[in-house]
Structure 1
Amino acid sequence: MRKLLVPAAAAALLATSALSFAATQQHATGTIKAYDAKAQSLTLTDGTVYMLPKVFKDPGLKAGEKVSINWEMKGTTRTVDQVVIVK
C-alpha cells in the first residue's frame, strides 16, 4: 500500500500545479489604440495596457488593428505571452 501512496501523491501534486498554471492564463481581444515598441507596451481602445516581453517579435502591430492577446498577471502588470492579429 505504501508503495502506491507516494507515486499517487506525486501525481496528484503535479496535476494540481498544472491546473493552477493554466488558471493564471487570460485571454483578451480588442482593437489597438497605441503600440509603443520602445516601451514594449500595447494599449487597447478600452484603455487596458499590456506589457510585452523583451523578446517580442512585432507581427506588424499598428493602431486600429484587431488583436487577440494571451496574457497573465505578474504583480500589477498584465504581461503578454502572445499577440495575434485577427483578420
Structure 2
Amino acid sequence: MRKLVVSTVATLLLAGGSAAFAAPHQTTGQIRQFTAGKTLVLQDGSAFQLAKTFRNPGLKVGEKVSVNWDMNGKNKIAESVTVVK
C-alpha cells in the first residue's frame, strides 16, 4: 500500500510540474514599434508576432502594455496585449 501511495504522489508532482512549464509568459514594457497585424516590439527589444486572432485595442507607440505570450518554435507569439495605466 505504501509503495502505491508514494508512486501516486510522485506521478502527481511530475504532472503538475509539466503543466506549470507550459503556462504562458507575461512581459510588461513600452511599445517601440507596432505593425498592425504582424509584430510588436518593446523598448527593451523584445519582439512578438501577433496571433492571427489578435484584435487591436488601439495600441500606440510609447504606450505601456502587458503582453501575454508563448513560444512557437523560436518565435514569441503574443496571445493578448493590454494597455497598462
Aligned to 2:45: 47
The count of aligned residue pairs is 84
Deviation at 1:61, TM superposition (A): 0.5
After the TM superposition, list the runs of 4 or more consecutive aligned residues in structure 1 that deviate by more than 3 angstroms.
Answer: 10-17
Aligned to 1:5: none
Deviation at 1:11, TM superposition (A): 6.6
Unaligned runs of 5+ in 2: 2-8
RMSD: 2.2
Unaligned runs of 5+ in 1: 2-7
- Rounded Cα–Cα distance in structure 1 between residues aligned with 2:45 and 2:20: 30
- Give the TM-score, by structure 1 length: 0.74
SS state at 1:58 partner: coil
The 5-angstrom pairing of residues 26-65 of structure 1 reads 26-38=25-37, 40-65=38-63
Shift of the 17–60 alpha-carbon distance from structure 1 to 2, 3 Å rule, reads same
Q: Percent identity?
A: 42
